[in-house]
Chains A and B, each alone.
Chain A
């Protein structure tokens, strides 16, 4: 069984978000980039665990982006992935990314495509479902447990007001959420090995743009917190009713 894990290159959670070019572009100056946490902690680590348990033969990382994302890809290799492929291109939307991954996965015979539940920059939760749609594969989203036995996966995932355990024959696409695995820190041996692991660069497939971002704006944070003394709790209740109008 071969697993393809899609990783996104995202600004670290603590990044101060800024825009440039008249608020039409994200300003990446001075920003630290990391593997999207859901892709790394859950999708990639679980894939590696399956390989360590001899349930998968190969774990490949796929990333759609330009050459400046290679440090992020190498970190994924340092965690233990066998090889990586970078689709050399930058698109306007999730559909572009999904189309590249679907095209590569179809051509190279992967049994399972894993993605994180969403990226922390665009929060669209879209790429996994789009890959499944393009490849006509089953898709289980927001998975918290994933086991494989032969040609069949058993998955626990979140549903409205509960969880569901499902079985599905491979191939399939799964989006991974908290619960599936624990974060790992790459060790020195992994980091050394990652330097020489194969990282193929493949030209992007031309893909139509379905959406694009016109402009960005920062959400105004809360400017002042009204402090209330413990002795005047009734005042808080009054403010929640008359000022905030939430009760």
Chain B
């Protein structure tokens, strides 16, 4: 028996969401009295060490150029590993890869899937009970997975990443994928221009702005605040729709759903569709010149006033705070 954890390398590092999955999978393995096994493709020695430190006792290390980002091939590789190691629970991050692969594997193995878990499971007889957000963050449901094999896709940023001194046993592992002809042909890859910022889904600190900024030329004060905090910038839907900011910065129901530790919303009124994408944030600060803006009802801290005067002052205050920290 084992708990199998899918991990991946992106832009030369182990994805943060993957390390969270390993931490989580190690806990689940402990709970079930079994072994936490991670699977990874094309990882170097340092990356394998990092996955080990996050708690994987064994790592199945693949070197396979065919798999790429094809969800059919990833699913087949994980399926083979799950069968070879008798996995009773398979863990994914509920990120872009997890959303494509976990449901496919669930259907293939008839393994019940909880997509977007926010807490550790509890054991109830042969079932696992796992919490997940429903109704776009307005409520939580406890799901019971009754199937023999179970899949949990963990919502990113649910737990901070922990690293210990565990050293994993590395097994060079190969998946037999010869019979599968890749049917999705990649023609072009484009990277979002993030200017070196942490990608939004992984960001712990986010500075976001809306129509209150009046125009794209005014984003300098938002970027300055983000730089001072080492945060990632985001925006509301109208701002993305008007092309003031790139599409990938749009957070909300139709854009990216995020749950950073700190979300600072500047000049965003707080429509319900926007809240649905950010209400999982641990702390929300709202800056708005309209004291009736609905966002204040969903915020932890609020400042009523002119963003063009408040935001630069906040940036200076953050800089002063950081200087005193050092």
Contact = CB atoms under 8 A, between A and B. Distances in A.
Report the contact-size class of chain A (Cβ under 8 Å from the partner).
35 or more
B199 to A, nearest CB: 5
A104 B67 CA distance: 30
Contacts of A172: 183
A216 B186 contact: no
B301 A163 contact: no
Interface in B124-168: 129, 132-147
10 contacts: A13-B253, A93-B112, A127-B103, A130-B107, A166-B184, A166-B187, A168-B185, A219-B137, A233-B310, A237-B321
A66 to B, nearest CB: 20
Ranked nearest first, the 8 interchain pairs of A and B with the lowest CB-CB distance are A129-B103, A133-B107, A210-B112, A133-B104, A165-B188, A211-B112, A124-B115, A246-B262
Contacts of A122: 134
Given A139-B100, A226-B302, A228-B303, A168 B184 contact: yes
Nearest to A99: B107
Where chain A touches its partner, the secondary structure class is mixed
A130 B110 contact: no
Secondary structure type dominating chain B contacts: mixed
Contact of A225 (B15, B110, B299): B299
Nearest to A141: B100
Nearest to B68: A164
B282 A246 contact: yes
A95 B112 contact: yes
A123 B134 contact: yes
A17 interface: yes
A225 B302 contact: yes
A22 interface: no
A164 B142 contact: no
Given A141-B71, A225-B296, 9 more contacts: A120-B136, A120-B253, A121-B136, A133-B105, A162-B192, A211-B112, A219-B138, A240-B285, A244-B283
A70 interface: no
Contacts of B80: none
B227 interface: no
Interface string A80-117: 00000000000001110011001000000000000000
B72 interface: yes
Contacts of A132: 71-72, 103-104, 107
B95 A134 contact: no
Nearest to A10: B135
A161 interface: yes
